[in-house]
Amino acid sequence: MAKIKHIAIATQDADKTARFYIDVMGLKEAGKIDSANASGYYLTDGNVNMAILNFKNDQVAGPEYGVGYSGIHHIGFEVEDLDEVSGRLEEAGSSPRDEINKALGVGMDGPRHANVEVKYGGPDGVIIDVSQTGWVGTGG
């Protein structure tokens, strides 16, 4: 069974948003990111990783969102067998988000590492992040 281990929130003010979740909800900072694609924070409750991201380009944000979007961006599932789940996703009509995967330099044939492995389109326009290696600050 896949486990929800990651939720990403797009924001225009990563510092302010991270402070809210740290100060109000008690999450802990697990890491920071500042790349060509996004800047922000990885927060955790010890079980789930929450990324607070200020996207720097539309390719990584996805064309339906763009860099100006703020709100829940994608949800990540940790799975036991990435190839098996990818097959089930495709059988269900879910396609890899090749434009985002390419912009990140990841995907089924790309590198597999913590915090991003491969992104798919899900129902209702939701972006689904699938990982066999998990996310920083998560249990399991």
Domain range enclosing 75: 3-131
> Would residue 61 count as lying in a domain?
yes
Q: What is the CATH number of the domain that holds 124?
A: 3.10.180.10
pLDDT reported for residue 123: 78
Rounded (10°) CA dihedral 51, 53, 57, 61 = 50
pLDDT tens digits, residue range 86-139? 889 889 899 999 998 888 888 766 565 666 788 998 877 889 998 888 888 887
> Would residue 72 count as lying in a domain?
yes
pLDDT tens digits, residue range 20-74? 999 988 999 999 999 999 999 999 999 999 999 999 999 999 989 999 999 999 9
Q: What's CA 3's distance to the chain center, in Å?
A: 14
